[in-house]
Amino acid sequence: MQPIHEQATTNLLICFDESGKNSSDPIQLMGALSIPLNIYMHPNFNTFHALNQEFSFHWTKYGGDSKIAKGIEQLFEQALPLAEYMNFNMIRYASSVLNSQAQNVFKDIYKPKKTIVDKTIYTKLPERICYGLVRGYGVHNDVQAKILIEESSEYHSRNLDSMLKEALNIHSLYRGENFVITECGYRSKGEEIGIEFIDIFLGIVGIILTCPSYKEISGKKQAKVELVLKLLKQNKLQPFLKNLRLFELQQFNQLIEANVEASIKLFIAKNYEEFISL
């Protein structure tokens, strides 16, 4: 007689966001974090959640403001005990490449081509990102996940919440996985600290990947580079970066995993004088 294994249930929280929505942006990233819900909501981390009441987190607006910088530093400092329980999935893509492919493949249909490109970006990429965070927990572990997305008219118009929930649950059933998406909904800016965290983290990863030289830039971008170098010098980013899986959407829509550690080393090397002076 086969032994009976009790099913364990893991409740996950997934927070999704993107950075660089326009093709003119230096980098376009989508990503999400996952964390066991009971750990995320534990009273030990009340000060982490309370940061939303003290600070407003806007990576795109950051240009050296001391209060915003303090808030970002506190965000990573307060989250450090959570780092070992967090997983991150990100995809780097270029909408211009997808547009070019659409022009060739769909030259006689889908006018304008932007429609099919947008649907590709906001259907397949969020699905792949979140799927990587809920799969693979084993046959004796049921995963129930809640997905939170920052409120956006762009997401509403595409029904991203209902589409993502349905697509992932279809995946689960079709592939025989043991996960279910119980909820997928929106949260306003400043309402959920997990969404603020992934928003800032995406911006930081974007800086590391584009690898700008501090000496060759100015203004907001220079301030961002300096802050990222400071966080790296203080070892406040490394515990999170080591749990990041980053994929690049390359030609013929292949997802190739990138070497995050190599990108970090290159970024520091390019800005070494500033790094050691902090």
| Residues belonging to the chain | 278
CA 40 to chain centre: 17
The edge-to-edge listing of strands for the beta sheet with 8-19 is 179-187, 141-150, 8-19, 28-36, 87-93, 244-249, 255-257
Q: Is residue 2 part of a domain?
A: no
Q: Is residue 134 part of a domain?
A: yes
Cα 175 from Cα 169, distance rounded (Å): 10
35, 194 contact by CB (below 8 A): yes
pLDDT for 1: 46
pLDDT for 5: 53
91 SS3 class: strand
Residues 44-64 have pLDDT tens digits of: 999 999 999 999 998 999 999
pLDDT for 109: 60
Domain hosting 21: range is: 8-277
Count of structural domains within the chain:
1
Q: Is residue 166 part of a domain?
A: yes
Q: Is residue 114 part of a domain?
A: yes
Cα 103 from Cα 3, distance rounded (Å): 57
Q: Is residue 3 part of a domain?
A: no
Tell me the mean pLDDT per 10 residues along the chain, length 278.
64 95 81 98 98 94 95 98 98 79 60 69 92 88 95 91 97 93 96 97 97 95 97 98 95 86 98 96
Cα 126 from Cα 177, distance rounded (Å): 18
